[in-house]
Amino acid sequence: MRIIAISGSPRMDGTTNAIIQKLMENAAAKGHFCEFYILNRFELHGCQACRYCRTEGDRCGIDDKISQILDKIYDADMLIVGSPVYMGDVTGQLKIFMDRLYSMKDSSGKPRLSDKKGILVFSQGASGKEYYKDMFSRVKKTFDGYNIKIQNMIVNDSADISQDSELQSEIESVCADL
Ligand SMILES: Cc1cc2nc3c(=O)[nH]c(=O)nc-3n(C[C@H](O)[C@H](O)[C@H](O)COP(=O)(O)O)c2cc1C
């Protein structure tokens, strides 16, 4: 499989990136082709609502790193997307990326992507993994709508993930499905 991971966390050594890294290491060990993009490393441009993607072209009209990542998703089998919870939502970095998914539907609103598998990773400061479940399911719905079918969702509420045995077994069980 070709797996692309995208993180909206600005903390390179944070928990979101650590969980994604673990998933990617497991996937790579199984022979899957993996690429990991941390959005905060790039100059991010929000959707301009120019509608180039829905009228003139078949891709985003902005020429930047996000468009390059979006192009790669067409050839991927699986997308792993992660974000810390900021103000009850995904980070601004991931929201910019999600807005740019708009270019992946055609003029009739039909997804341009063939079905992809998807995994979501969320990390939150508040304890209680149910606390943001409405937001998590909203994000899932967005990706599902673009044919990125979310099959697993990992929610972390521990500052030190190595001490969270429940989370570790959840990660292992997701890895087993890769
Ligand atoms: C700007 C900002 C806003 C945050 N808002 C929330 C929030 O609304 N709810 C919450 O549970 N945690 C919130 N947090 C805490 C982070 O979600 C938490 O520390 C998370 O584990 C960070 O992920 P990371 O380790 O990948 O950076 C916020 C942190 C920051 C910096």
What digits encode the pLDDT tens for the residues 90-134? 999 999 999 999 999 999 999 999 999 999 999 999 999 999 999
- Give the number of the atom of ligand 1 that is nearest the alpha carbon of residue 10: 27
Q: Confirm or reject: Cβ of 14 under 6 Å from ligand 1.
A: yes
Domain for residue 14, yes or no?
yes
The CATH code of the domain that includes 158 is 3.40.50.360
Let me know the angle formed at the C-alpha of 108 by 104 and 110, rounded to the nearest 5 degrees: 45
pLDDT tens for each residue of 131-162 = 999 999 999 999 999 999 999 999 999 999 99
Domain of 93 in residue numbering reads as: 8-176
The answer to whether 7 touches 108, Cβ cutoff 8 Å, is: no
C-alpha span between 70 and 11 (Å, rounded): 23
Q: How much of the chain exceeds pLDDT 90, in percent?
A: 98
Q: What is the mean pLDDT of the chain?
A: 97
Q: How far is the CA of 88 from the centre of ligand 1 (A)?
A: 9
Mean pLDDT of 11-30: 97
pLDDT value for 98: 98
pLDDT tens for each residue of 45-88 = 999 999 999 999 999 999 999 999 999 999 999 999 999 999 99
Domain for residue 105, yes or no?
yes
pLDDT value for 109: 95
Domain for residue 65, yes or no?
yes
Domain for residue 1, yes or no?
no
The answer to whether 53 touches 103, Cβ cutoff 8 Å, is: yes
Q: Confirm or reject: Cβ of 7 under 6 Å from ligand 1.
A: no
Q: How far is the CA of 174 from the centre of ligand 1 (A)?
A: 23
DSSP the chain: -EEEEEE--S-TTSHHHHHHHHHHHHHHHTT-EEEEEEGGGS---------GGGTT-SS-S--SHHHHHHHHHTT-SEEEEEEE-BTTB--HHHHHHHHHGGGGB-TTS-B-SPPEEEEEEEE-SSS-TTTTHHHHHHHHHHHHHTTEEEEEEEEE--S-GGG-HHHHHHHHHHHHT-
Nearest-CA residue for atom 30 of ligand 1: 86
Domain for residue 3, yes or no?
no
Let me know the angle formed at the C-alpha of 25 by 178 and 37, rounded to the nearest 5 degrees: 95
C-alpha span between 93 and 7 (Å, rounded): 9
Q: How many domains are contained in the chain?
A: 1
Q: Confirm or reject: Cβ of 125 under 6 Å from ligand 1.
A: yes
pLDDT value for 53: 97
Domain for residue 2, yes or no?
no
- Give the number of the atom of ligand 1 that is nearest the alpha carbon of residue 14: 25
Count the Cβ atoms, other than its own, within 10 Å of residue 89: 14
pLDDT value for 61: 96
pLDDT value for 49: 98
pLDDT value for 87: 98
pLDDT tens for each residue of 32-46 = 999 999 999 999 999
Q: Nearest-CA neighbor of 123 among 38, 16, 22?
A: 16
pLDDT value for 147: 98
